[in-house]
Amino acid sequence: MFVGLAVAALGGLMMLGLPLGRLPGDLVFRRGNVTVYVPIATSIALSLLVALIVTMMRR
């Protein structure tokens, strides 16, 4: 239930203009008709956020 609420909250923040998925450090490679997206900075930011939430829930 908490994971669903977190995903819904994250989606709402992205709709309001939070730039997740377009952070500096996210790599995009384009060659012809192929685009490869590697969200390194977004993955790190989400990992830190989830770790913070889990830590706060354990207390």
Range of the domain at 40: 20-59
DSSP H helical ranges for 1-59:
2-15, 40-58
53 falls within a domain: yes
Contact 20, 45 (CB under 8 A): yes
pLDDT higher than 70, residue 47: yes
pLDDT (0 to 100) of residue 20: 67
Q: How far is CA 7 from the centre of its chain?
A: 10
Contact 41, 25 (CB under 8 A): yes
Q: Is residue 8's pLDDT more than 90?
A: no
Q: Are 28 and 36 in contact (CB under 8 A)?
A: yes
Is 3 a domain residue?
Answer: no
Average pLDDT value for the chain = 84
Which pTM was predicted?
0.62
Residue 31 has pLDDT above 90, yes or no: yes
**Domains in the chain, number:** 1
In a domain, 52, yes or no: yes
45 vs 13: which has the higher pLDDT: 45
